[in-house]
C-alpha cells in the first residue's frame, strides 16, 4: 500500500474514532436519544443497548443519564416480560420465534433479548440466535437483539434488565428474554421477568431429576417442547411425570398452580394454549397485585447488584488499589493467602475502623 493511501486510511480511522468519542461524550444528549427511542427508532435503540452493555467505566455515567431520561418519557406503559429457559438443544429459539410471531398477529410488538454464553478464554460469543429466528428478526414489529453474557452469572447479561427497559420505552409491549441454559444459576432470570417459562424435552433421561430443582421451583409454566412426530407419546409421558411431581413443591408466590403443557414449534400444536396461559397469568397477577409487587422487588434487587458492580469498578479505578489487587492476587496464586483473606485485606485496607 502506498504511503499516500496509508495516510488517507489513517486519517479516516482517526476521524471515525473522533466521531465515536464525540457521540459518547461532547455531543451526547440523553434527552434527544431517549426521545428517539420512544419514537421507535430502532437504530437509536440498538446504540443505546450497546452503550449500557459497555464494560468501559467512562460509559457508565452516560448510560445512567440515558436510562433516567428514558424512564421519565416512558413511565406508565403496560408491558409483559417473559423469560424462556431450558437446556441447549431444547429448541428455545424456534419456540420463541413461533411465540413472537403469534403475539405479533395479536397486534403486539415483540422484542427478544437473546443472551449467548461467552468464552472464558477469549470473552467472545457466537451470538447466533438472530440467525435462528430469521423470520422474526426481519419483521417490522419485532426487535431481536443477541447479547453476550460476558462475566455475568445466571444466564443473563449484566445489563439485560436495562435493555428490557429500553425496549419497552421503544414501544415493544412484549419482551422475551432467552437465556443461555447453563444450569442452576439460570434462576437469576426469574428476577427480571413477569412469567418464567421452562422448556423441557421428552425422553431426555430421568424425567424428574434431569433438571435442577432450583429452576423447576421458580418456573411459572413448564412446556415439554418438540412434541411432534414419533416423540408425541414420550413428551406426553414426560409432562405427566412433572405434573405428578409438582405437588411436592411449595405453591409459587403468585398463588397459581404451575401448568405443564406440550407444544411443537414445527406443527404449532400447543402454542396457542401456551400464549393464552401466559396472558392469563399476567391478567390474574395484575388483578391480585402480585404483578406490581414482583416488579417492585425486582427493581430493588437490581439496585443491590448494580451497587456491588459500581463499588468494585470505583475501587479498581484507584491506581494504588489496583496495584494492591495485583500483589494480593499473586499471593493467592502462590498459596500464601486464601482468596477470602486477600479479598478482605483489599477491601478494608487503609479504612479506619
Would you state the pLDDT for residue 289?
Answer: 96
Question: Is the distance from CB of 171 to CB of 78 less than 8 angstroms?
Answer: no
Beta strands per DSSP E along 139-295 = 142-148, 174-178, 195-201, 221-225, 259-262
Would you state the pLDDT for residue 216?
Answer: 82
CA dihedral 90, 96, 102, 103 (to 10 degrees): 140
Beta strand 110-116 with 174-178 is parallel
Would you state the pLDDT for residue 351?
Answer: 59
Question: Is the distance from CB of 278 to CB of 198 less than 8 angstroms?
Answer: no
Within 8 A by CB and 6+ apart from 276, the residues are none
What does the mean pLDDT of the chain come to? Answer: 82
Taking each helix axis as running N to C, give the angle between helix 30-38 and helix 60-74, from 0 to 180 degrees, rounded to the nearest 10: 50
Distance CA 301, CA 307 (A): 10
| Class of residue 85 by CB neighbours under 10 A (exposed 0-12, middle 13-18, buried 19+) | buried
CA-CA distances (angstroms) from residue 52 to 6, 83, 86, 87, 163? 34, 20, 26, 28, 8
Going by the DSSP 8-state scheme, the letter that residue 168 receives in this structure is H
The pLDDT-based confidence of 205 (bands split at 50, 70, 90) is: low
CA pseudo-torsion sign 211, 85, 279, 74: positive
Distance CA 65, CA 29 (A): 9
Instruction: Say which range, 88-102, 243-257, 258-272, has the weakest mean pLDDT.
Output: 243-257
Domains of the chain plus CATH, in order, are 15-73 (1.20.5), 76-287 (3.40.50.300), 299-348 (no CATH)
Distance CA 102, CA 82 (A): 14
> pLDDT: is 8 or 284 the higher one?
284
Would you state the pLDDT for residue 206?
Answer: 52
CA-CA distances (angstroms) from residue 207 to 31, 91, 237? 52, 18, 9
- Does 148 score more than 70 pLDDT? no
* pTM (2 d.p.): 0.82
- Does 123 score more than 60 pLDDT? no
Instruction: Say which range, 15-29, 169-183, 192-206, has the weakest mean pLDDT.
Output: 15-29
Would you state the pLDDT for residue 126?
Answer: 40
Question: Is the distance from CB of 234 to CB of 210 less than 8 angstroms?
Answer: no
Distance CA 277, CA 221 (A): 8
Percentage above 90 pLDDT, the chain: 51
53-81 mean pLDDT: 86
- Does 228 score more than 90 pLDDT? yes
Nearest Cα neighbor of 252 from 219, 299, 208 is: 219
The pLDDT-based confidence of 193 (bands split at 50, 70, 90) is: very high
287-305 mean pLDDT: 92
The pLDDT-based confidence of 308 (bands split at 50, 70, 90) is: confident
- Does 158 score more than 70 pLDDT? no
Would you state the pLDDT for residue 222?
Answer: 95
Distance CA 53, CA 66 (A): 13
Would you state the pLDDT for residue 352?
Answer: 46
Amino acid at each position: 500500500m502506498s504511503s499516500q493511501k496509508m495516510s488517507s486510511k489513517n486519517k479516516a480511522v482517526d476521524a471515525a474514532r473522533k466521531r465515536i468519542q464525540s457521540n459518547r461524550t461532547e455531543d451526547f444528549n440523553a434527552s434527544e436519544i431517549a426521545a428517539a427511542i420512544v419514537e421507535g427508532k430502532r437504530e437509536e435503540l440498538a446504540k443505546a443497548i450497546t452503550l449500557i452493555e459497555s464494560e468501559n467505566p467512562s460509559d457508565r455515567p452516560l448510560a445512567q443519564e440515558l436510562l433516567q431520561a428514558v424512564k421519565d418519557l416512558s413511565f406508565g406503559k403496560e408491558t409483559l416480560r417473559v423469560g424462556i429457559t431450558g437446556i441447549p438443544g431444547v429448541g428455545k429459539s424456534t419456540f420463541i420465534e413461533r411465540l413472537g410471531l403469534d403475539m405479533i398477529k395479536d397486534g403486539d410488538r415483540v422484542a427478544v433479548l437473546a443472551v449467548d454464553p461467552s468464552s472464558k478464554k477469549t470473552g467472545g460469543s457466537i451470538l447466533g440466535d438472530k440467525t435462528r429466528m430469521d423470520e422474526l428478526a426481519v419483521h417490522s414489529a419485532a426487535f431481536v437483539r443477541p447479547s453476550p453474557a460476558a462475566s455475568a452469572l445466571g444466564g443473563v447479561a449484566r445489563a439485560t434488565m436495562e435493555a428490557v427497559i429500553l425496549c419497552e420505552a421503544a414501544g415493544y409491549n412484549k419482551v422475551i428474554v432467552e437465556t443461555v441454559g447453563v444450569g442452576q444459576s439460570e434462576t437469576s432470570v426469574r428476577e427480571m421477568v413477569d412469567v418464567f417459562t421452562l422448556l423441557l424435552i421428552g425422553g431426555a433421561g430421568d424425567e424428574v431429576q434431569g433438571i435442577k430443582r432450583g429452576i423447576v421451583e421458580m418456573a411459572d409454566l413448564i412446556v415439554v417442547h418438540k412434541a411432534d412426530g414419533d416423540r408425541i407419546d414420550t413428551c406426553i409421558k414426560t409432562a405427566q411425570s412433572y405434573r405428578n411431581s409438582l405437588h411436592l413443591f411449595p405453591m409459587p408466590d403468585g398463588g397459581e398452580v404451575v401448568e405443564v403443557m406440550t407444544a411443537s414449534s414445527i406443527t404449532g400444536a400447543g402454542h396457542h394454549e401456551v400464549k393464552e396461559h401466559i396472558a392469563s397469568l399476567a391478567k390474574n397477577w395484575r388483578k391480585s397485585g402480585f404483578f406490581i409487587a414482583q416488579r417492585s422487588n425486582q427493581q430493588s434487587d437490581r439496585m443491590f447488584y448494580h451497587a456491588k458492580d459500581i463499588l468494585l469498578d470505583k475501587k479498581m479505578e484507584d491506581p494504588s488499589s489496583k496495584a494492591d489487587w495485583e500483589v494480593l492476587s499473586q499471593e493467592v496464586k502462590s498459596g500464601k493467602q486464601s482468596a477470602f483473606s486477600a479479598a478482605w485485606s483489599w477491601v478494608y485496607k487503609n479504612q479506619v475502623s
